[in-house]
Protein backbone atom coordinates (compact mmCIF):
# COMPACT_ATOMS: atom_id res chain seq x y z
CA UNK A 1 0.00 0.00 0.00
CA UNK A 2 1.26 3.46 -0.82
CA UNK A 3 -0.08 6.39 1.17
CA UNK A 4 -0.33 10.12 0.61
CA UNK A 5 -1.14 12.47 3.51
CA UNK A 6 -2.96 15.74 2.85
CA UNK A 7 -2.65 18.28 5.63
CA UNK A 8 -5.13 21.05 6.52
CA UNK A 9 -4.84 24.17 4.34
CA UNK A 10 -3.04 26.66 6.65
CA UNK A 11 0.75 26.46 6.46
CA UNK A 12 0.94 26.08 10.25
CA UNK A 13 0.16 22.38 9.89
CA UNK A 14 2.90 19.96 8.89
CA UNK A 15 3.22 16.24 8.29
CA UNK A 16 6.19 13.89 7.91
CA UNK A 17 6.37 11.72 5.80
CA UNK A 18 3.91 13.01 3.22
CA UNK A 19 4.14 9.89 1.05
CA UNK A 20 5.33 6.36 1.75
CA UNK A 21 4.83 2.64 1.25
CA UNK A 22 3.75 -0.06 3.70
CA UNK A 23 3.99 -3.83 3.33
CA UNK A 24 1.29 -6.05 4.88
CA UNK A 25 1.47 -6.06 8.70
CA UNK A 26 4.05 -3.25 8.66
CA UNK A 27 3.53 -0.17 10.84
CA UNK A 28 4.84 3.36 10.52
CA UNK A 29 4.67 6.61 12.44
CA UNK A 30 3.32 9.75 10.82
CA UNK A 31 4.25 12.95 12.63
CA UNK A 32 1.63 15.70 12.49
CA UNK A 33 2.72 19.10 13.76
CA UNK A 34 1.22 22.51 14.41
CA UNK A 35 3.42 25.55 14.80
CA UNK A 36 2.39 29.16 15.02
CA UNK A 37 -0.77 31.01 15.73
CA UNK A 38 -3.80 30.07 13.71
CA UNK A 39 -5.65 33.16 12.56
CA UNK A 40 -8.64 31.23 11.30
CA UNK A 41 -10.10 28.38 13.36
CA UNK A 42 -13.19 26.64 11.98
CA UNK A 43 -16.50 26.92 13.87
CA UNK A 44 -16.39 23.28 14.92
CA UNK A 45 -12.72 23.68 16.02
CA UNK A 46 -11.66 20.76 13.77
CA UNK A 47 -9.18 20.53 10.89
CA UNK A 48 -8.81 17.23 9.02
CA UNK A 49 -5.74 15.35 7.87
CA UNK A 50 -6.64 12.95 5.05
CA UNK A 51 -4.59 9.81 4.44
CA UNK A 52 -5.20 8.37 0.97
CA UNK A 53 -4.23 4.72 0.44
CA UNK A 54 -3.73 2.76 -2.79
CA UNK A 55 -3.01 -0.91 -3.28
CA UNK A 56 -0.18 -1.43 -5.76
CA UNK A 57 1.09 -4.47 -7.63
CA UNK A 58 4.42 -6.20 -7.03
CA UNK A 59 6.14 -4.48 -9.99
CA UNK A 60 5.43 -1.01 -8.60
CA UNK A 61 6.46 -2.14 -5.10
CA UNK A 62 9.78 -3.45 -6.41
CA UNK A 63 10.51 -0.13 -8.11
CA UNK A 64 9.74 1.76 -4.90
CA UNK A 65 11.88 -0.55 -2.75
CA UNK A 66 14.96 0.11 -4.91
CA UNK A 67 14.80 3.84 -4.09
CA UNK A 68 15.76 3.89 -0.44
CA UNK A 69 16.28 7.62 -0.03
CA UNK A 70 13.88 9.03 -2.62
CA UNK A 71 10.12 9.24 -3.02
CA UNK A 72 10.24 9.86 -6.77
CA UNK A 73 8.63 6.53 -7.74
CA UNK A 74 5.93 6.83 -5.07
CA UNK A 75 5.05 10.30 -6.34
CA UNK A 76 4.93 8.97 -9.91
CA UNK A 77 2.48 6.22 -8.82
CA UNK A 78 0.27 8.92 -7.30
CA UNK A 79 0.44 10.98 -10.50
CA UNK A 80 -0.66 7.99 -12.60
CA UNK A 81 -3.33 6.48 -10.33
CA UNK A 82 -4.19 9.16 -7.77
CA UNK A 83 -6.19 11.32 -10.19
CA UNK A 84 -9.00 8.73 -10.05
CA UNK A 85 -11.33 8.37 -7.07
CA UNK A 86 -9.50 6.83 -4.11
CA UNK A 87 -11.78 4.45 -2.20
CA UNK A 88 -9.63 4.03 0.90
CA UNK A 89 -9.33 7.38 2.72
CA UNK A 90 -8.73 7.82 6.44
CA UNK A 91 -9.67 11.20 7.94
CA UNK A 92 -7.94 12.19 11.19
CA UNK A 93 -9.20 15.17 13.13
CA UNK A 94 -6.92 17.85 14.53
CA UNK A 95 -9.02 19.37 17.31
CA UNK A 96 -8.51 22.65 19.15
CA UNK A 97 -9.73 22.42 22.74
CA UNK A 98 -11.36 25.42 24.44
CA UNK A 99 -9.64 24.58 27.74
CA UNK A 100 -6.12 24.26 26.29
CA UNK A 101 -3.35 26.16 28.04
CA UNK A 102 -0.40 27.72 26.27
CA UNK A 103 2.55 25.39 26.10
CA UNK A 104 3.62 22.25 24.39
CA UNK A 105 1.24 19.44 25.09
CA UNK A 106 0.43 16.30 23.16
CA UNK A 107 -2.81 14.41 23.26
CA UNK A 108 -2.49 10.96 21.76
CA UNK A 109 -5.45 9.63 19.82
CA UNK A 110 -5.81 6.03 18.73
CA UNK A 111 -7.54 5.24 15.46
CA UNK A 112 -9.46 2.00 15.43
CA UNK A 113 -9.96 0.17 12.12
CA UNK A 114 -13.38 0.74 10.57
CA UNK A 115 -15.23 -2.55 10.05
CA UNK A 116 -16.29 -3.30 6.49
CA UNK A 117 -20.02 -3.83 5.96
CA UNK A 118 -21.74 -5.64 3.12
CA UNK A 119 -24.69 -4.15 1.19
CA UNK A 120 -27.14 -5.41 3.83
CA UNK A 121 -25.23 -3.56 6.54
CA UNK A 122 -23.82 -6.71 8.14
CA UNK A 123 -20.17 -7.27 9.01
CA UNK A 124 -18.26 -8.65 6.04
Domain borders along the chain are 2-95
Look up the pTM and report it: 0.56
pLDDT exceeds cutoff 80 at 56? no
pLDDT-based confidence at residue 107 (cuts at 50, 70, 90) = low
pLDDT exceeds cutoff 80 at 44? no
Q: What is the mean pLDDT of residues 4-30?
A: 79
Contact between 35 and 87 under an 8 Å Cβ cutoff? The reply is no
pLDDT exceeds cutoff 80 at 27? yes
d(CA 123, CA 119): 10
pLDDT at position 26 is 82
Residue 56's beta-bridge partner residues?
none
In the Cβ-directed half-sphere of 56, how many Cα atoms lie within 13 Å?
26
From residue 116, how far is each of 55, 108, 121 by CA, in Å?
Answer: 17, 25, 9
Q: What is the mean pLDDT of residues 60-65?
A: 70
Mean pLDDT of the chain: 71
pLDDT exceeds cutoff 70 at 75? yes
Strands 88-95 and 31-34, by their bridges, are unpaired
Contact between 50 and 6 under an 8 Å Cβ cutoff? The reply is yes
Asked whether the CA dihedral 68, 72, 75, 79 is positive or negative, the reply is: negative
pLDDT-based confidence at residue 87 (cuts at 50, 70, 90) = confident
Amino acid sequence: IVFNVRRPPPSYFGVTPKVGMLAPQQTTTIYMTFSGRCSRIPDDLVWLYSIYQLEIDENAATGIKTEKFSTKTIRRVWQLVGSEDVANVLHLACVFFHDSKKGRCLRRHTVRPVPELDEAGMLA
